[in-house]
Chains A and B, each alone.
Chain A
Amino acid sequence: MSSTATVPNSLAPDRMGAPGISLAIASSVAPLTVVAGVVTTGLAVTGLIAVSSAMLVLAVTFILFAPGYLAMARHITNTGAFYAYISKGIGRPVGVGSSWIALLAYNCFQIASYGGLGAIAEPLFQDWFGVDIPWWCFALVVWAVVAYLGRRDVSVSEKVLAVLVVSETVLVIVYSVIVLLSSDFHFSAKPFSLHALVGSGGGALLAIAATSFAGIEQGAVYIEESRDPKRSVPRATYFTIAFIGVLYAVASWVQISAAGADVVERAGKEGPDLFFNEAAAASGNWALDLGHILFLTSLIAAMIAFHNIIARYTYALGREGVLPKVFGTTVGGAPQAASLAQSILAVIVIAIYGFAHLDPLVQLFFWGGTTGGVGVLLLITITSASVISYFARDNHGETSWRRLGAPVISTVLLVGISYLSIKNLSTLYGVAPHSGPAVVMPIVAAVVLVAGIVWGLILRQNRPEVYEGIGLGPRSAVVSPGGFRQMLNDGASATATPENHS
């Protein structure tokens, strides 16, 4: 093509502007789950309280990560997946390895939510109806719903997610103000201590903060549907990161300041109720009930959303030949095999936790969530480095700040944060140094990464046509059986007659 016409101003109202994209990005983070669930459990498990400073450090780091990431997203396809960036920036074998890590991390998030849900629902049902049902029963009921909806590819409507995230945000703000104005509140500067982050165990806080921000990368997905990809998507991304960063930092600070000197003990005893109890102490028991309801609904919405993300991600990988072909098939437009695989994995984990009487809140929700968080942190770190190497070969008309300045600063920060997080895994999990998950998880991650890289190299050797398409998503030349392009290829090879040019 010699010259391609694009008319920048002929825009449709159905397309998304910055506010709509902000809301869509925010819908994939769960503010109440973070403030009431992740922060309190984090306090209890790690015993560290410099949460607010960790939140702000991560917010700044991700804002610096965004310009390069979004600039690269405008030049590649399959923008929803980190491995697409890594395949293009560093190389396809590392891309395959990181796609497998991503799958692992997303599964950690999704399955962890069942623990959080069960842990909240169990005492709640006792309270409201006086019946004692074990946590895994609630988990299994919701699992069945998620599996059913996922099989049919029914996702939570964007409107429902938006309503949930707005009400959660409002609730966090209102409760924070209530607690701030209550008599329990005693100013404490400790949550904002930067010094504590590099001190003993501080890396665990950075990992918790990274977990809290998972989902902010979603903006890139909306590039194709946005009115003005160069302006509205970055604007929405910066705004959302800054907003939730401040929200998390302030809400954590208020929560810790109001809990008194024994905040770590209280967090351990009260769990996710700590935040709600503080608000309830100042304003009445309605605050507790309302908080519980929103906590549950947002967890369920997140589970369905994450299940669908995993199913489509698995589908995309199956379609490209990076995972077995069976995952790359759809039935009636729904990636059923991929959905079924995720459901089976989830029910196995729930069963193991149920039979072994493990703690759903700490050992499933918190461990799973933060493990997923560290996984995503590593992916973002590698992606950030990929941006530098991608633009080093060709500047693609991007400014030096977007292709070099911001990515270099963010990569340095991210490498530091990842290092501190991994170094302090035992603090993060609340176990003795070099024991349990603190040893197992890095080994699992390393094995998966290396296996992925090896698989990528095998593909390069044996199936070059699959290898070429890695990271291209739907534009990959290798498509699932059936489909129009497959038909064209079949037909062309069968007849071997030259194409009929019109």
Chain B
Amino acid sequence: MAASLALADEFWMVSHDKTNGTSHLKPKPLGIGLAAALLSEVFFAHWIADVDDSALYLIPAAETYQPPRDPAVFEVVRKLLAVQTAALTSQSRHAQVSSPGIDLGQTFGHLRFGAVDEETQEREPSAQELIEARLASANLVEEVTRGLLQSRTAYRPVSRNISAWPGLRVRDLIREGRELNLHDLTLAGVITATGLEKKALTDLGGQQFKSLAAQTARNLPRAVKQLLIAAETAIGGLVATR
């Protein structure tokens, strides 16, 4: 099996057209899906200890470890640590809690829109910007200019071989009834949570979906399940109220 890309990069490939790079999702669900994929990466890099209904918890003494090498994961961990530190400072008068939770909705908000640094007043990059920068620096995508009236920068996969691979790999594994590793299982989860399964996981029968469901329920870590549930809920809210 060929080496796969980072999880969020692969979701980017699945959620965009293989050739011209237009998004299959509308901007808001895309932002939520990419945020969930990137947070899953942070979890698999062992920075997140647990996630519950409303908060995520970093590993104990996270600030003492060497920062992650991946630039996108680095940015997210840095932000999460900053929020946790701010919370600890504001709570110092109260009884100190071991590791305070970080609001999940707010984290998704930061990753979707890009937070503003309080001191420098500079906007920090959103999950989408982090992922696209990572893809561009690895020469996996190239810049294109889109839009008739307001031109904006977008990205296009450099090679169809690379862009088609993640979706096809996951689909074929499921089709053959194989056991998916955690990386692929999470990717299938993000695809399902963003409603892309009809586009990406085509030609699968009920039995194959059952097998995927069973593996997901059995093998996916609780934290990732919670992240994906939060993402799906946020997207459901968009369709209902936007």
Choose among B101, B210, B222, B242 the residue that contacts A499 (Cβ–Cβ < 8 A).
B222
Whether the pair B103, A6 counts as a contact (CB closer than 8 A) is yes
Distance, CA A6 to CA B109, complexed state (A): 11
Q: Does B117 contact A (CB under 8 A)?
A: yes
Which of A11, A473, A494 interacts with B213 by CB under 8 Å?
A494
The answer to whether B116 and A494 have CB atoms under 8 Å apart is no
The residues in A between 306 and 356 inclusive whose CB is less than 8 angstroms from any CB of B are 312-313, 315-316, 319, 330-333, 335
A199 within 8 A of B: no
Contact: B115 with A499, CB < 8 Å? Answer: no
Q: A4-B103, A12-B115, A13-B123 are in contact. Are A80 and B241 (CB under 8 A)?
A: yes
Chain A CB within 8 A of B229 CB: yes
Q: In the complex the two chains form, is A473's CB within 8 Å of B241's CB?
A: yes
In A484-502, the 8 Å CB interface with B consists of 484-485, 487-488, 490-492, 494-495, 497, 499-502
Inter-chain contacts of B87 with A (CB < 8 A): 3-7
Considering the complex, give the chain A residue whose CB is closest to the CB of B228: A484
Residues of A within 8 A of B181 (CB): none
CB within 8 Å for A482 and B233 given contacts A10-B115, A487-B212, A488-B213? no
B71 CB to nearest A CB, Å: 20
**Alpha-carbon distance A77/B168, docked complex (angstroms):** 37
Contact between A3 and B222, CB atoms less than 8 A apart: no
Partner of A315, one of B113, B221, B240: B240
Whether the pair A483, B192 counts as a contact (CB closer than 8 A) is: yes
Per-residue CB proximity of A57-94 to B under 8 Å, as 1/0?
00000000000000000000111110000000000000
Q: Is A141 an interface residue (CB 8 A)?
A: no
- In B192-242, the 8 Å CB interface with A consists of 192-193, 195, 197-199, 209-210, 212-225, 228-229, 231-237, 239-242
A494: B residues at CB distance < 8 A: 210, 213-214, 217
Q: How far is the CA of A332 from the CA of B29 in the complex (A)?
A: 12
B residues within 8 A CB of A3?
A: 87, 91, 97, 100-101
How far in angstroms is the closest Cβ of chain A from B55?
A: 5
**Cβ of B106 to closest chain A Cβ, rounded Å:** 6
Q: Name the CB-closest residue of B to A222.
A: B241
Q: Taking A315-B239, A333-B239 as contacts, is the C-beta distance between A487 and B192 under 8 angstroms?
A: yes
Contact of B86 with A by CB under 8 A: yes
B25 on the interface (CB 8 Å rule)?
A: yes
Q: Which of A6, A319, A492 has the most CB of B within 10 A?
A: A6
- Asked whether, in the complex, the Cβ of A502 is within 8 Å of the Cβ of B116, the reply is no
What are 28 A-B pairs at a CB distance below 8 A?
A3-B100, A4-B55, A5-B83, A5-B103, A7-B106, A10-B115, A12-B109, A80-B241, A221-B242, A316-B239, A316-B240, A333-B26, A333-B29, A473-B236, A473-B240, A473-B241, A475-B233, A482-B192, A483-B232, A484-B193, A484-B232, A487-B209, A488-B217, A491-B213, A491-B214, A494-B213, A499-B222, A500-B222
Q: Which 5 A-B pairs have the closest CB atoms?
A: A474-B236, A5-B87, A491-B217, A502-B221, A491-B213
| Besides A499-B217, A502-B224, 20 new A-B residue pairs in contact (Cβ under 8 A), listed by A number | A3-B97, A6-B87, A7-B87, A7-B118, A10-B116, A78-B237, A81-B241, A224-B237, A330-B239, A474-B234, A474-B236, A474-B239, A475-B233, A483-B195, A488-B213, A490-B210, A491-B212, A495-B214, A500-B218, A502-B221
Q: Which A residues are closer than 8 A to B by beta carbons?
A: 1-7, 9-15, 77-81, 155, 221, 224, 312-313, 315-316, 319, 330-333, 335, 473-475, 479, 482-485, 487-488, 490-492, 494-495, 497, 499-502
